[in-house]
Amino acid sequence: MSKIKLSEKISVILPTYNEKGNILSIIEAIHAELVDYEHEILVVDDNSPDGTFKAVLDRAYPYVRAILRTENRGLANSIRNGLENAKGTVFIIMDSDFNHQPKYLPFMIQAISYYDCVTASRFLYGGRMDNRFRHILSWIFNIFVRLMTGGQITDSLYGFLAIKRRVIEECNYDKIFWGYGDYCIRLMYYLQRNHVNILQIPAINGRRKEGQGNRRFFEIFWQYFKEVIMLSYKARMNNHVQGN
d(CA 76, CA 79): 5
Q: Is residue 3 part of a domain?
A: no
> Measuring CA to CA, which residue among 183, 39, 32, 19 is closest to residue 98?
19
Question: Which CATH number belongs to the domain containing residue 180 in this structure?
Answer: 3.90.550.10
Task: Please indicate whether residue 17 or residue 233 has the higher confidence score (pLDDT).
Answer: 17
Report yes or no on 57 lying in a domain.
yes
What is the spatial distance between Cα 191 and Cα 167, in angstroms, rounded to a whole number? 8
Q: Do residues 37 and 66 touch, judged by C-beta distance below 8 A?
A: no
Residue ranges making up the domain that contains 71: 9-243
Rg, C-alpha atoms of the chain: 17
The count of domains in the chain is: 1
For 15, the enclosing helix (H) or strand (E) is strand 9-16
**Per-chain mean pLDDT for the chain:** 91
Give 158-188 pLDDT, tens digit per residue: 999 999 999 999 999 999 999 888 999 999 9
Candidates 193, 179, 188, 192; CA nearest to 80 is: 179
Using one digit for the tens of pLDDT, what is the confidence trace for 48-96?
Answer: 999 999 999 999 999 999 999 999 999 999 999 999 999 999 999 999 9
By percentage, how much of the chain surpasses pLDDT 70?
A: 90
3-class SS of residue 114? coil
Q: Please report whether residue 237 resides in a domain.
A: yes
Return the pLDDT at 1: 44
Lowest mean pLDDT among 67-76, 204-213, 230-239: 230-239
Residue 52 belongs to some domain of the structure: yes
pLDDT digits (tens, 9 = 90+) for 138-153: 999 999 999 999 899 9
Contact (CB, 8 A) for 54 and 47: no
Does the residue 173 lie in any domain? yes
Above 90 in pLDDT, residue 21?
A: yes
Separation between Cα atoms, residue 17 and residue 47, nearest integer Å:
7
From residue 165, alpha-carbon distances to 10, 134, 194 in Å are 10, 32, 15
Q: 165's torsion region: left (phi>0), alpha (psi -120 to 50) or beta?
A: alpha
Identify the DSSP state of 2: P
Residue 58, domain member (yes or no): yes
Q: How many residues does the chain have?
A: 244
Asked whether residue 231 is domain-assigned, the answer is yes
Q: Kindly state whether residue 4 falls inside one of the protein's structural domains.
A: no
Q: What is the pLDDT of residue 221?
A: 75
Q: What percentage of the chain reaches a pLDDT higher than 90?
A: 77
